[in-house]
Amino acid sequence: MTLEILGITVLWTFLFGYIIVGSIDYGAGFFNAYSIITGKDHILSNVIQRYLSPVWEVTNVFFVFFFVGIVGFFPDTAYYFGTIFLIPGSIALILLAIRGSYYAFETYGTKGHKGYAIMYGLSGLIIPASLSIVLTISEGGFVFIEDENPVLDYWALFTSPLSWSIVILSIVAVLYISAVFLTWYANKTGDLKATNLMRKYALIWALPLIITAGGIIYELKFHSPEHYERIIDLWWMFGLSFLLWIATVWFIWKRRKYGISVWLMFGQFALAFYGFGISHYPYLLYPYLTIYEGFTNQAMAISLVVVFILGLALLIPSIYLLFKLFLFDKNYLKGKQKKE
Amino acid sequence: MLFEDPVIASRFLTLLTLSFHIIYATIGVGVPLMIMIAQWIGIRKNDEHYILMARRWARGFVVTVAVGVVTGTVIGLQLSLLWPNFMELAGQIIALPLFMEVFAFFFEAIFLGIYLYTWDRFEDQRKHFFLLIPVALGAGMSALFITIVNSFMNTPQGFDIMDGQIVNANPIAAMFNPAMPTKVSHVLATAYMTVAFMLAAIAAYNLIKGSKHVYHKKALHLTMKVGLIFAIAAAIIGDFSGKYLAEYQPEKLAAAEWHFETEEGAPLLLYGVLDENNEVKGAIKIPYALSILAFSVPTSEVIGLNEFPVEETPPLIVHYYFDLMITIGVFMIVLSLVFWIGIKRGWAFVKATWYRWLIVLGGPLSFLAIEAGWWMTEVGRQPWILRGIMTVEEAATSSDYVGLISILFIALYIILGIGTVVVLRRIFKDNPVEKELKASQGGENA
């Protein structure tokens, strides 16, 4: 494995991590807001707050990790994506800032400002949408070079069915991932009403998810035939992903093994996400930037990998502790306090 | 102007974001240490008041941490959005400390989450105390690594440039650049100092407002003592910083001191204004002091600004920032030293309302000094983004929308700023110490 491949694998993994924990977070915010509007907040709020409060900051770090890491391993991306991404990136940043401060302002300040909670829920859908634009851009066809500087063609981007499909997929995926996870979490806390409600949401979003995901592959056939070919070469990954989706839905439908459903759902998204990533190889921004052209120097690459391994040695036990205390602790889950 | 020139707009937006972020970042670095100290004293002395102090500080801390995290995320991504050419180059050499900063931040985030949500979970307070160590450590490490990035921008090293390409990159050498030791230690010392004085200001304010509770007195004594120690440390390191500047960035020191002609036995100028002919008016001149600050020898030669090409000299406005920072620093040392001696010797005036008002004033003043110090160091390296290698003009984005985006960010910072104040007031106003103590132990009064 070359350092380039190692670098992009690490980053892709952290992006995957962000997509999963971020989706849970964004979706939970949305369901929270939705339950306030429909007057069901007494069912959901407790469960959602109890999970989210201790982990929101950690969620945010996954995102920071990705964009710092990509500039480290592939400094040229700062030049290309930095220049292009100013507007969508800034919008996402402002929304992220409003979301991030919500916890502090709302949870620790006063309880229950409706307007803020609704804004919070909506921002959770707009952020993934604005961030997912980067996936569309990297497909190529939306960026041209003018006076040696890359420029984004907003008109082409906004009129492209591909960009809208990716936006819709990102929103649906957020709602689905979050619903499946919270079904399990609510079940763990022993809250039957919340479990049933989340189960219903998970089932509602399952079908749109698979339709939009399939639709994107179909659209790529016309937008980037080369990329489409590579996806077809990897058909077994996407096929396996599809089977995992069926299994997840089946378990949730049958109200059985919510824990396994969550793992199956992770597996489904991992296969699709890595399949998509591998099929994009070797381009970071088609056709201008490949992982080989944009890679950092040897010395930096090695030191980044060393720091990464040392960092993980520190992080994995810490994350384990966090999970142990807040995700797998029976007393915490049920809202009881037991002194240790 | 702002809407036409992406360079000016990018500079403006970066200035705005950093100036706003620094307030929260300083709190984020300093408060965990103060919580740790309070919690430790509380455990050692078995004094409920200090434990409560740690708890109340932690509660306010969460609010500022949240804003610190989001504005930190903003500046992190803005670096690539506004300065893509800089990040492309710097990513080759300085990505390592940036990467390490994220790990430190990660580490801190995990344990902060655990610390804040386990107040009632441990019978033994010491267990809970141990959770604070990684928080304070992570916060300090974040400051360390991010300041390393900044010191690299002031004294770039660890690579060669051949035909416009980076060769012989050495990430470790880039991290241990000449600016790093003084910068990192000054940032840490001033952060701890500022936070201590901020908490002192809160305690003093509560005493002025009529709360006679011994809790506030304990808080005031503790924070003033810690503040004094770090203020003195900051001053000593500040002296080292002067020596570093004289050797590696003489143009910054010269601009800060309006020192135009190279001379031996150079005087230090305090205050004053500059007229249109660059003549200094009304400044206090301390003979030989600049030579002492620069090289420890009164007769040593200090390079003047006239030795540098005009297009490479920093703006002369940095002199005011320098004055502001030094004046506040000295004022805070005197204020806390007099307070401390006064307490020991039983001088009545340190407990007088007017003196407490000075302490209250010290909180915001310390933050002003932090801002002024950063403005001096950042504006003072104009026109360079990487001193001697890349100017800010070459580094800025080519996108035309920066001015527009700036307006959105201004609105965001206003919302966050007001939000912080409102929420913090709500947390503490309706829940004074007396009430909380009563609730926790059924009415023991001091």
- With CB atoms and an 8 Å threshold, state whether B62 touches A108: yes
Return the H-helix or E-strand segment holding A146: strand A143-146
Helix A86-102 to helix A114-138 angle (10° resolution) is 150
> Which among B74, B166, B415 has CB closest to A93?
B74
| Cβ count near B352 (within 10 Å) | 12
Separation CA B385–CA B391 (nearest Å) = 5
Token readout for B395 is 């580094």
Q: CA-to-CA distance for A70 and B79, rounded, in angstroms?
A: 13
Could you tell me if B63 lies within 8 Å of chain A, comparing CB atoms? Answer: yes
Chain B closest-CA separation from residue A59 CA (Å): 9
DSSP A194-225: HHHHHHHHHHHHHHHHHHHHHHHHHHHHHH-H
Answer yes or no: do B87 and A71 touch at CB < 8 A.
yes
Contact B73 A109 (CB under 8 A): no
> In this complex, is the C-beta atom of B112 within 8 Å of any C-beta atom belonging to chain A?
yes
List for chain A the helix, strand, coil content (%; round to 5).
80, 5, 15
Residues forming a β-bridge with B391: B384
Among B88, B127, B402, select the one facing A78 at the smallest CB separation: B88
Q: How far is A91 from chain B (nearest CA, A)?
A: 8
Nearest-Cα distance to chain A for B185, in Å, is: 23
* Residues of chain A contacting B111 with CB distance shorter than 8 Å: 318
Judged by phi (left if over 0) then psi (alpha if -120 to 50, else beta), residue A19 lies in: alpha
CA distance B335 to chain A (A): 33
Q: Distance of CA A162 to CAs A144, A151, B319, Å?
A: 18, 19, 55
Q: Least CB-CB distance to B113: which of A54, A74, A149?
A: A54
Which among A57, A94, A300 has the least Cβ separation from residue B69? A57
Q: How far B204 CA sits from the closest chain A CA (Å)?
A: 23
Chain B: residue nearest A151 by CA?
Answer: B399
Assembly ipTM: 0.82
Chain-chain contact of A93 with B101 (C-beta, under 8 angstroms): no
pTM of this structure: 0.87
pLDDT in tens, B374-386: 999 888 888 887 7
Spatial separation of the C-alpha atoms in residues A200 and A34, rounded to whole Å: 14
Question: What tokens were used for A102?
Answer: 């919500």
Q: How many alpha carbons lie under 13 Å from residue B143 in its C-beta half-sphere?
A: 27
Q: Do B107 and A79 touch (CB under 8 A)?
A: no
Q: Determine whether the interchain pair A55/B67 forms a contact, defined as Cβ–Cβ distance below 8 Å.
A: no
DSSP state of B267: P
Reference B251, options B240, B262, B239; nearest CA is B262
Phi/psi region, residue A287 (left: phi>0; alpha: psi -120 to 50; beta: rest), is alpha
Length of chain B (residues): 446
Cβ contacts of B165 on chain A, cutoff 8 Å? none
For residue A74, the chain B residue with the least C-alpha distance is B91
CB contact under 8 A, A325 and B118: yes
Distance to chain B for A226, nearest Cα, Å: 28
Q: For residues A267 and B203, give the distance between their C-alpha atoms in angstroms, rounded to a whole number.
A: 53
Nearest CB to B92 within list A110, A300, A338: A300
C-beta atoms of B70 and A307 within 8 A: no
Closest A-chain CA to B102: A65
Q: Are B263 and B257 in contact (CB under 8 A)?
A: no
Calpha distance B358→B274 (Å, rounded): 30
Tell me which residues of chain B, numbers 149 to 168, contact chain A at a CB-CB cutoff of 8 Å.
Answer: 166
* 3-class DSSP assignment, residue B55: helix
Q: Which residues of A touch B407 (CB under 8 A)?
A: none
Chain A residues inside the 8 Å CB shell of B110: 58, 315, 318-319, 321-322
When CB atoms are compared, the residue of B92, B120, B399 closest to A296 is: B92
CA distance B20 to chain A (A): 13
- DSSP code of B398? -
What stretches in chain B show pLDDT beneath 50?
442-446
A299 neighbourhood in chain B, CB within 8 Å: 169-171
CB within 8 Å: B113 and A322: yes
A163, A157 Cβ separation under 8 angstroms: yes
**Please, what sign has the CA dihedral across residues A106, A112, A116, A118?**
positive
pLDDT at residue B184, as a whole number: 92
Token pair of B413 as six digits: 């910072």
By Cβ distance, the residue of A76, A86, A322 closest to B405 is A86
Which tokens sit at B267?
A: 């005087």
For residues B440 and B121, give the distance between their C-alpha atoms in angstroms, rounded to a whole number.
15
The DSSP secondary structure of B84-128, one letter per residue, reads: HHHHHHHHHHHHHHHHHHHHHHHHHHHHHHHHHT-TTT-SSHHHH
Q: Residues in chain A with pLDDT < 50?
A: none
Dihedral, B106, B109, B113, B119 alpha carbons, nearest 10: 120
A300 close to A72: Cβ distance less than 8 angstroms: yes
**Distant-in-sequence, close-in-space partners of A140: CB < 8 Å, separation ≥ 6:** A224, A283, A285, A286, A287
pLDDT at B446: 38
Integer Cα distance of A18 and A21 in angstroms:
5
